[in-house]
Amino acid sequence: MMKLFLSFTLIWALSSTAGALQCQSCTDQQCSSTVPLTCSSETICITASIQDIITGTQTISKACASSSLCPATGSQTFSVNLGFANAVVSAQCCDTDNCNTATLPFPAAQTDNSLQCFTCEPLTSQCTPLQCQGVENTCLKASLSESDDFQFLGCASANLCAATSSLGTLPFFDTAVSGSPSSLLPLRSADTNLLQTTRTSTKRGATGPLQPSL
């Protein structure tokens, strides 16, 4: 009976991993080499080229991704500007084994669009208008899970806003508070566990200055 039980357990384990998606994963930030990664529950592979606008740092990431980050296959551009941290991501989502081998070009410089949001200094809470650029078509307001008083405001692309709301953390920008995006998959930490994320807007009066809508 014990041998029969062990046989069933082995068959179940093999069948569970046999159907799992396999993606390529970078071994370093420059993605000088990759290794195969068996996804746990994710059904999408992603490759992303991340451009830190402030520091000029460029990072390449390849990994498994959740449907919250990649609701469909194809190309996406993610962008966020918190004033003190600003990064743009070119990404490609696919759903077959090892389909994320390609390395994408880094995003081109974005130009100003018609949206303005507010950005606030986290330590002083002093807010100033922020000009959004490119695909940043949404105003982002996020607070740390441990403190509603410690909030981040800025511009973001709608797809990044949706992913942040679903995942409870800021994808691609796990060290965004220091201005250095470094990881593809969201990392839950004291700095980036953004559990309260809403869309806000700015109001422009006929003759008055911009005022934040909080």
If one compares 3 and 26, the residue with the highest pLDDT of the two is 26
Q: What is the mean pLDDT of the chain?
A: 75
Q: Is the pLDDT of residue 76 over 70?
A: yes
For 137-156, write each residue's pLDDT tens digit: 999 887 765 555 567 789 99
For 6-62, write each residue's pLDDT tens digit: 344 444 344 444 589 999 999 988 899 999 999 999 999 999 999 999 899 999 999
Within 10 Å of residue 67's Cβ, how many Cβ atoms? Answer: 15
The whole-number pLDDT of residue 165 equals: 82
What distance lies between CA 184 and its chain's CA centroid? 7
Token pair 């490119």 is at which residue? 134
The whole-number pLDDT of residue 196 equals: 34
The whole-number pLDDT of residue 101 equals: 96
pTM over 0.85: no
| CA angle (125 as vertex; 139, 161 as ends), nearest 5 | 20
Q: Is the pLDDT of residue 135 over 70?
A: yes
The whole-number pLDDT of residue 130 equals: 96
Portion of the chain with pLDDT greater than 70, in percent: 68
If one compares 206 and 99, the residue with the highest pLDDT of the two is 99
Task: Using alpha carbons, select from 170, 167, 156, 165 the residue that is nearest to residue 196.
Answer: 165
Which has the minimum average pLDDT: 136-145, 172-181, 183-192? 183-192
If one compares 1 and 108, the residue with the highest pLDDT of the two is 108
The whole-number pLDDT of residue 174 equals: 55
If one compares 96 and 182, the residue with the highest pLDDT of the two is 96
